[in-house]
Amino acid sequence: MKAYTFLIRYRLAISVVLLLLGVITNIYAGFWPAFPLYLITVVLLFSHFFFGPLRLIQEYMENGDMEGAEKVLNSIKFPNLLYKPIRSVYYTLKGNIAMSKQDFDSAETMMKKGLDLGMPMKEAEGASLLQMGMLSMQKGNIKQGESYIRQAIRKGLPDKENEAAAYLQMCSIMMNKREFRSAKDFYRKAKACNPTTPQIVEQLKEINKYISRIPG
């Protein structure tokens, strides 16, 4: 795995070295002895621009190192050359990083680009739609936020934590609209997910204080 990570990290530099070796071999020994070097160079260059360093980004994201992930993303100079599903993930990750910096306008732009390209899995699309909904809520666009979150629930979400977050957001929206019966229904759905994320658990506790007292 370390060797694979090393190859992804340095394949552009390796391809340049192999190309130079290929040219030297071509000059002194002919084309066919140099052919394997040329072939490996083409494969490395193709994978660098077509697939990108997604594996490296994934490792940084899993470790919570957003700064490291951003550096890798910024190293991609020609995102339009990426394979379409990978390009979609690229823009989604750019949106996530912008969101972590509370740069909501950039986050929305990047995540829309990712959604427009089509996500590789429905659950990933649902998660992106949920984030778009939360972005809209942050910007005070409740109607747009509700639309995105409803779409996220329909598409499906990757885990119970995301489901609980979506239902809680809908509960809040319904309470603001004074649609109390729907608010209670979404609250029950959120609670049934048995979330463990501290922020979501705390929100459930706060809503539980007064949900039974409201009409509907």
Note the pTM of the prediction, 2 decimals: 0.80
Q: Give me the DSSP letters along the chain.
A: -HHHHHHHHHHHHHHHHHHHHHHHHHHHH-HHHHHHHHHHHHHHHHHHHHTTTHHHHHHHHHTT-HHHHHHHHHT-S-GGGS-HHHHHHHHHHHHHHHHHTT-HHHHHHHHHHHHHH--SSHHHHHHHHHHHHHHHHHTT-HHHHHHHHHHHHHH--SSHHHHHHHHHHHHHHHHHTT-HHHHHHHHHHHHHT----HHHHHHHHHHHTTGGGS--
Question: How far is it between the farthest Cα atoms of the chain?
Answer: 88
| Tens-binned pLDDT, residue by residue, of the chain (216 aa) | 678 888 888 999 999 999 999 999 999 999 999 999 999 999 999 999 999 998 888 788 778 888 898 999 999 999 999 999 999 989 998 998 898 888 988 998 999 999 888 876 667 888 899 999 999 988 889 999 999 999 999 999 989 999 999 999 999 999 889 898 999 999 999 999 999 999 999 999 988 887 877 766
Class of domain 54-156: mainly alpha
**CA distances (Å), 35 to each of 44, 45, 77, 85, in order?**
14, 15, 28, 32
